[in-house]
């Protein structure tokens, strides 16, 4: 872990607008203070009250059992998240309310009421059951952003099948790793998906992957793009045929609160992706409450989170959190610049979106595309804006506020992780004054601190490690199949606290400023990529001997990827090889990991124990002065060489 220096200076402050605060679910700072204190002082009573707002088939016997580093919430309770997202609303006056409003990239639209979504989910749950799937089995879902993706996810939750959603932008190799690690019995996919006017060949990718996935017995294929795909007899089934053969009567399974709801793979530092495990009851309560207060949801909101369901943001804040609250969720299939760069603004206007949640990387693209595009549309329906995924630079925040929010909408900058399941640090829009670039204050029940390596608290504005000191309901329970990795990765670096790798500082007002990852993970456009995975992909190419991957600041994506590569003897660096290597990484991991730059070198800077010094390479890649200690470097001339290559 490297030392963390804080460089950002920011003084602009925005109190909650008076009109917003007056109508907000939480608009009184004293009431907020009381609730926050109670959530920390009496967490069990606090969370029990929240959980009681939801449906349980059996009550819990204990709210929390904490045996470091394992926690159980609502012990002995039985519930069902799909029931709480659907059935609960059918008797609460939301039967005909729009649950999902969907827009396909080519422009078609579909609306599913809570009643309709409930029926589809019950049907697909019966499809899974009739193919032998039951509680505890794993189902991999590799689809585009279509309503049936929501249906598939909720159908799994309904019968207790643990879902593993695989981002539709991933390559066959990524599918193989994830399906095999989870030992999935079923894959749900589409013939293809629309992305920027082109078809992503989802089914072809599945076919290629399944040659190496022995556990998969059934594949369900939704027709979306209608091109020809190969259907393997006995294994592959059309979604619509299967749906026609079952009834829509499927009672929700009463599941143990700690039943594994899903596995979601996230990059670690050691190459192999980690299967983050979330369970049922605590995750439900955490996503429900954060959605309610952070997004200040009201009955008539049209809520749009632009994340893909392939990432945790899509799990928690496209599906589970908003649906548990009975919200109307807008879901969009495609790219923000198709057919034109004003697609999002046209959609906000068309659907009268009131709450909009997106990522800094998207906001930076909007800034670059120009404010004339949002200005063409009426965005006055918006009342609240959110951001997530990486630190937002203050100028992008200010642009978002002015151009999209009309200087009227509060912005919630929400810090959390795949592992935390739900938002951990964020303003509550009716009570928290905001400052561009700060995620501000911990959410209810979140005991966050910035500490030194020895675990002692840092002073104001002192950079340190961001830790969470108490377990929270939606936290990950383990790493799938590797509990030791769970202990090591999250609980052993700054013991006894939870630490998942971010540096931060807290200012004199108690606001948190997240400073990014302190380990070798690159955050490209809000996606966390392990440098090791990219390096492994490069080294798997026959020409490559060794590779070191580092981030370089990128105005648009947050970080770009620079790969330093040494070649196998006899291979010569050529422009053709640069393209070949970049394509190779795309194929191995996905286009998101494609290096922006490949730099050939004769040697990489290493410590005596043979560890590549990425810190120095990052300085070279960013054209910075070399910082910090170089004494552990084995051969100083290597660096000299790299710099000269740069000038040449």
Q: Considering beta carbons, is residue 221 or 396 the nearer one to ligand WT7?
A: 396
Q: Considering beta carbons, is residue 192 or 322 the nearer one to ligand WT7?
A: 322
* Cβ contacts of 263 within 8 Å, gap of 6 or more: 138, 162, 163, 164, 182, 275, 276, 277, 278, 480
Taking CB under 6 A as the rule, does residue 389 contact ligand WT7? yes
Binding mask 212-231 for ligand WT7 (x = CB under 6 A): --------------------
Q: Considering beta carbons, is residue 341 or 529 the nearer one to ligand WT7?
A: 529
Taking CB under 6 A as the rule, does residue 418 contact ligand WT7? yes
For residue 388, the minimal CB distance to ligand WT7 (Å) is 5
Angle between helices 172-182 and 202-210 (to 10 degrees): 60
* Cβ contacts of 361 within 8 Å, gap of 6 or more: 389, 390, 525, 526, 556, 557, 558
Q: Considering beta carbons, is residue 494 or 581 the nearer one to ligand WT7?
A: 494
| Of positions 87, 120, 413, 449, contacts ligand WT7 by CB under 6 A | 413
Q: Which long-range contacts (CB under 8 A, 24 or more apart) does 339-348 make?
A: 339/197, 340/373, 341/366, 341/369, 341/370, 341/373, 342/373, 342/374, 342/376, 342/377, 344/306, 345/373, 345/374, 345/376, 345/377, 345/379, 346/377, 347/103, 347/304, 348/304, 348/377, 348/379, 348/381, 348/382
For residue 398, the minimal CB distance to ligand WT7 (Å) is 16
* Spatial separation of the C-alpha atoms in residues 276 and 629, rounded to whole Å: 35
Q: Give me the phi and psi of 352, to 5 degrees please.
A: 55, 50
Angle between helices 637-647 and 614-621 (to 10 degrees): 20
Question: Checking phi first, is residue 415 left (phi over 0); if not, alpha (psi -120 to 50) or beta?
Answer: beta
Q: Considering beta carbons, is residue 309 or 341 the nearer one to ligand WT7?
A: 309
Question: Checking phi first, is residue 34 left (phi over 0); if not, alpha (psi -120 to 50) or beta?
Answer: alpha
For residue 434, the minimal CB distance to ligand WT7 (Å) is 12
Taking CB under 6 A as the rule, does residue 391 contact ligand WT7? yes
| Of positions 80, 290, 313, 478, contacts ligand WT7 by CB under 6 A | 313
In the numeric block, the tokens 């490949």 are attached to 598
Cβ pair 448, 442 in contact under 8 A: yes
Q: Considering beta carbons, is residue 20 or 415 the nearer one to ligand WT7?
A: 415
Taking CB under 6 A as the rule, does residue 520 contact ligand WT7? no
For residue 623, the minimal CB distance to ligand WT7 (Å) is 24
Chain residue at closest Cβ approach to ligand WT7: 418
Taking CB under 6 A as the rule, does residue 439 contact ligand WT7? yes
Q: Considering beta carbons, is residue 207 or 502 the nearer one to ligand WT7?
A: 502
For residue 527, the minimal CB distance to ligand WT7 (Å) is 6
Q: Considering beta carbons, is residue 389 or 464 the nearer one to ligand WT7?
A: 389
Instruction: Report the site for ligand WT7 in 157-216 (rule: CB under 6 A).
Output: none
Instruction: Report the site for ligand WT7 in 586-605 (rule: CB under 6 A).
Output: none
Q: Give me the phi and psi of 281, to 5 degrees please.
A: -70, -50
For residue 255, the minimal CB distance to ligand WT7 (Å) is 25
For residue 335, the minimal CB distance to ligand WT7 (Å) is 19
| Of positions 415, 443, 480, 564, contacts ligand WT7 by CB under 6 A | 415
Q: Considering beta carbons, is residue 327 or 468 the nearer one to ligand WT7?
A: 468
Question: Checking phi first, is residue 440 left (phi over 0); if not, alpha (psi -120 to 50) or beta?
Answer: left
Q: Considering beta carbons, is residue 107 or 553 the nearer one to ligand WT7?
A: 553
As to burial, measured by CB atoms within 10 angstroms (0-12 exposed, 13-18 middle, 19+ buried), residue 516 is middle
| Of positions 162, 266, 287, 328, contacts ligand WT7 by CB under 6 A | 266
| Of positions 200, 468, 514, 567, contacts ligand WT7 by CB under 6 A | 514
Taking CB under 6 A as the rule, does residue 385 contact ligand WT7? no
For residue 6, the minimal CB distance to ligand WT7 (Å) is 14
Taking CB under 6 A as the rule, does residue 80 contact ligand WT7? no
For residue 441, the minimal CB distance to ligand WT7 (Å) is 13
Instruction: Report the site for ligand WT7 in 25-54 (rule: CB under 6 A).
Output: none
How many binding residues for ligand WT7 (CB under 6 A)? 22
Strands (E), 368-422: 384-387, 411-413
Nearest alpha-carbon partner for 251 in 135, 77, 405: 135
Taking CB under 6 A as the rule, does residue 312 contact ligand WT7? yes
- CA neighbours closer than 13 Å in the CB half-sphere of residue 94: 24
Nearest alpha-carbon partner for 123 in 158, 77, 88: 158
Binding mask 483-512 for ligand WT7 (x = CB under 6 A): -----------------xxx----------
3-class SS of residue 408: coil
For residue 146, the minimal CB distance to ligand WT7 (Å) is 22
Which of these ranges, 35-43, 336-344, 389-397, 404-412, lies near ligand WT7 under the rule CB under 6 A? Answer: 389-397
| Of positions 105, 236, 308, 390, contacts ligand WT7 by CB under 6 A | 390
For residue 500, the minimal CB distance to ligand WT7 (Å) is 6
In the numeric block, the tokens 């109508």 are attached to 23
Buried b / exposed e across 480-503, counting CB within 10 Å, b at 16+? beeeebbbebbbebbeebbbbbbb
* Spatial separation of the C-alpha atoms in residues 392 and 515, rounded to whole Å: 10
Taking CB under 6 A as the rule, does residue 434 contact ligand WT7? no
* Cβ contacts of 63 within 8 Å, gap of 6 or more: 43, 44, 45, 47, 48, 51, 73, 74, 75
| Of positions 291, 414, 493, 559, contacts ligand WT7 by CB under 6 A | 414
* Spatial separation of the C-alpha atoms in residues 108 and 102, rounded to whole Å: 8
* Cβ contacts of 232 within 8 Å, gap of 6 or more: 207, 219
For the CA atoms of 18, 23, 29, 35, what is the dihedral angle to 10 degrees?
-170
**Residue 602 structure tokens:** 């004769």
Which of these ranges, 39-47, 137-145, 514-522, 570-578, lies near ligand WT7 under the rule CB under 6 A? Answer: 514-522
Q: Considering beta carbons, is residue 357 or 600 the nearer one to ligand WT7?
A: 357
For residue 416, the minimal CB distance to ligand WT7 (Å) is 4
* Spatial separation of the C-alpha atoms in residues 185 and 204, rounded to whole Å: 18
For residue 363, the minimal CB distance to ligand WT7 (Å) is 12
Which of these ranges, 89-97, 383-391, 603-611, 625-633, lies near ligand WT7 under the rule CB under 6 A? Answer: 383-391
Q: Considering beta carbons, is residue 216 or 500 the nearer one to ligand WT7?
A: 500
Question: Checking phi first, is residue 578 left (phi over 0); if not, alpha (psi -120 to 50) or beta?
Answer: alpha
| Of positions 64, 185, 259, 528, contacts ligand WT7 by CB under 6 A | 528
Which residues of the shown chain bind ligand WT7 in the complex (CB under 6 A)? 266, 312-313, 388-391, 413-418, 439, 500-502, 514, 516-517, 523, 528
């Amino acid at each position: 872990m490297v030392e963390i220096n804080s460089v950002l200076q920011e003084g602009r402050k925005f109190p909650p607008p008076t009109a917003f605060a007056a109508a907000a679910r939480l608009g009184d700072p004293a009431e907020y203070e009381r609730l926050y204190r109670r959530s920390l002082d009496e967490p069990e009573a606090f969370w029990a009250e929240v959980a009681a707002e939801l449906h349980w088939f059996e009550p819990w016997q204990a709210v929390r059992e904490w045996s470091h580093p394992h926690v159980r919430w609502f012990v002995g309770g039985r519930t069902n998240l799909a029931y709480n997202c659907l059935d609960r609303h059918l008797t609460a006056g939301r039967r005909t309310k729009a649950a999902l409003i969907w827009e396909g990239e080519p422009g078609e639209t579909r609306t599913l009421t809570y009643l309709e979504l409930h029926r589809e989910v019950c049907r697909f749950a019966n499809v899974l059951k009739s193919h032998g799937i039951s509680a505890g089995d794993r189902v991999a879902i590799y689809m585009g952003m279509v309503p049936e993706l929501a249906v598939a996810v909720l159908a799994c939750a309904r019968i207790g099948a643990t879902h593993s959603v695989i981002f539709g932008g991933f390559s066959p190799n990524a599918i193989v790793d994830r399906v095999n690690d989870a030992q999935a019995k079923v894959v749900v996919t589409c013939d293809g998906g629309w992305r920027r006017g082109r078809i992503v060949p989802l089914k072809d990718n599945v076919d290629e992957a399944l040659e190496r996935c022995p556990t998969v017995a059934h594949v369900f294929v939704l027709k979306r793009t209608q091109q020809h795909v190969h259907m393997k007899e006995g294994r592959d089934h059309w979604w619509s045929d299967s749906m026609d053969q079952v009834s829509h009567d499927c009672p929700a399974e009463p599941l143990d609160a700690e039943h594994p709801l899903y596995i979601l793979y996230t990059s670690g530092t050691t190459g192999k992706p980690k299967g983050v495990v979330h369970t049922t009851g605590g995750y439900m309560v955490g996503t429900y409450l954060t959605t309610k207060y952070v997004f200040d949801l009201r009955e008539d909101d049209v809520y749009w989170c632009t994340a893909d369901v392939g990432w945790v943001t899509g799990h928690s804040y496209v599906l589970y959190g908003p649906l548990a609250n009975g919200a109307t969720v807008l879901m969009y299939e495609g790219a923000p610049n198709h057919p034109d760069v004003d697609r999002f603004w046209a959609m906000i206007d068309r659907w009268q979106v009131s709450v909009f949640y997106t990522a800094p990387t998207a906001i930076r693209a909007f800034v670059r595309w120009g404010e004339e595009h949002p200005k063409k549309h009426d965005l006055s329906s918006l009342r609240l804006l959110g951001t997530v995924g990486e630190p937002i630079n203050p100028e992008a925040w200010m642009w978002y506020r002015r151009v999209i929010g009309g200087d009227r909408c509060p912005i919630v900058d929400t810090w959390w992780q795949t592992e935390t399941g739900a938002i951990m640090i964020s303003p509550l829009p009716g009570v928290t004054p905001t400052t561009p670039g700060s995620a501000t204050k911990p959410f209810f029940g979140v005991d966050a601190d910035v500490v030194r390596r020895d675990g002692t608290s840092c002073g104001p504005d002192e950079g340190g490690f961001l830790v969470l000191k108490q377990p929270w309901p939606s936290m990950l329970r383990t790493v799938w199949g590797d509990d030791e990795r769970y202990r090591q990765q999250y609980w052993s670096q700054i013991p006894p606290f939870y630490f998942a790798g971010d540096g931060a500082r807290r200012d004199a007002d108690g606001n948190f400023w997240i400073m990014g990852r302190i380990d070798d993970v690159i955050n490209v456009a809000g996606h966390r990529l392990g440098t090791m995975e990219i390096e492994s992909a490069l080294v798997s190419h026959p020409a490559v001997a060794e590779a070191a991957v580092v981030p370089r600041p990128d105005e648009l994506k947050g970080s770009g990827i620079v790969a330093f590569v040494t070649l196998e003897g006899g291979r010569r660096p050529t422009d053709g090889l640069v393209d070949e290597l970049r394509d190779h990484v795309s194929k191995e991991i996905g286009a998101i990991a494609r290096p922006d730059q490949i730099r050939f070198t004769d040697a990489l800077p290493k410590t005596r124990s043979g560890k590549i010094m990425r810190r120095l390479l990052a300085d070279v890649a960013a054209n910075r002065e070399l910082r910090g200690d170089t004494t552990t470097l084995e051969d100083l001339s290597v660096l000299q060489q790299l710099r000269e290559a740069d000038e040449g």
